[in-house]
Amino acid sequence: MKNYIIISALIICSTFAKVKAQTTHLLDTIYANDTKNVALFFPEPIRQGITGSDNFVFTYNRENEQYFGLLQATPGKESNLLVINRNGSIFSYIVRYKKQLSKLNYFIPLSNSIGNEKPIVNDSVLVESSEERVDNSTYYYQKFCSYLLNRKQRIGRIKKRNEGIILTVENIVFDKDELYFVIEIENNSTLDYDLNFLNLSIETRQKGKRKSLQRLYKEPIYKHNLPSKIKENEMARFVYVLPKFSLSDDRRAILELNEKDGERNIELKLSHRYINNPN
């Protein structure tokens, strides 16, 4: 009986420690009211969405799973919103009523997930191999890049053209320790465009009497949907993932597009302001 009491006490202490660790996680707050729809866009289709109070209503398509849901609220105490995606990712937020709303759309990245409904069992110590870590990173990059390509967010008008070929940087997004460059190549010419390479380099302006430019190539850690050919009157959108970096005001990024067996080449200059202030 004594041993049973000791074991029970240990289980209770362990459970309390886990609950305490979970409750210390600060949740983001989403505001809503009864006159506007607040849209929440998730990286995977919504399978289930639950609010903790009747004065908050979260609606989503229960028959055909979609990526977004709508939140409305009536005056009352704050509550919480729990959303589970198709892949089991769990998202949790504090929700509050606010008469005047400054934000109506929330684009929620996968990195905001607080966990998965199928937790990893820790009965034994598992050593993760380097191959497994690479696979997990690649899977995350694939999902987040797909999410970014589905968004309509832009960071500015960054584009350049040459003989019907238009190179555009639609968006630059910071997530975890990486920068995601959403890039578009549009072919408005009458000839197919065969891609030789698309490189990102950092250009430094050397000061002094003999001014010169020095370039340092930056290797992407992942390329998503990079095409080898863009046919006439078609376009391609893809994502470059690079380790996070910042630039001083005497440096800038250069995106260099080169055509295979052709001369329709483009150099697009990216100011340090875009690199240092991503979405």
DSSP string across 127-167 = PPPHHHHHHHHHHHHHHHHHHHHH-------EEEEETTEEE
Cβ-Cβ contacts under 8 Å for 5 (sequence gap 6 or more): none
Strands 29-32 and 38-41: unpaired
- Is the pLDDT reported for residue 7 higher than 70? no
Rounded (10°) CA dihedral 187, 193, 197, 203:
-40
pLDDT of residue 40: 94
Phi, psi of 79 (to 5 degrees): -145, -160
pLDDT at 116 over 50: yes
Q: Give the residue carrying structure tokens 């990286």.
A: 43
Across the chain, mean pLDDT equals: 83
Average pLDDT in the 6-14 region? 41
Name the residue ranges covered by the structural domains of the chain: 2-116, 158-276
| pLDDT for the residue numbered 15 | 42
pTM: 0.54
Task: Name the band, by pLDDT with cuts 50, 70 and 90, for residue 22.
Answer: very low
pLDDT at 230 over 90: yes
Lowest mean pLDDT among 47-61, 112-126, 175-189, 232-246: 112-126
Give the pLDDT mean for 158-187.
Answer: 93
Tell me if residue 173 falls in helix, strand or coil: strand
Q: How confident is the model at residue 143 (pLDDT cuts 50, 70, 90)?
A: confident
Q: Can you tell me the mean pLDDT for 110-120?
A: 79
The CATH code of the domain at 158-276 is 2.60.40.1150
Per-residue confidence band for 207, with pLDDT thresholds at 50, 70 and 90: low
- At 76-103, the pLDDT tens digits run 999 999 999 988 889 999 999 999 999 9
- Per-residue pLDDT at 74 exceeds 80: yes
**CA atoms of 93 and 30, how far apart (whole Å):** 7
- For residues 166 and 183, the answer to whether their CB atoms sit within 8 Å is no
Q: Name the pLDDT band for 6 (thresholds 50, 70, 90).
A: very low
Per-residue pLDDT band at 138 (split at 50, 70, 90): confident
Q: For domain 2-116, is the CATH number 3.30.70?
A: no
pLDDT higher than 50, residue 275: yes
**Mean pLDDT of the region 265-275:** 93
Tokens for 3? 């041993």
From residue 99, give the alpha-carbon distance in Å to each of 58, 74, 102, 103: 18, 9, 10, 12
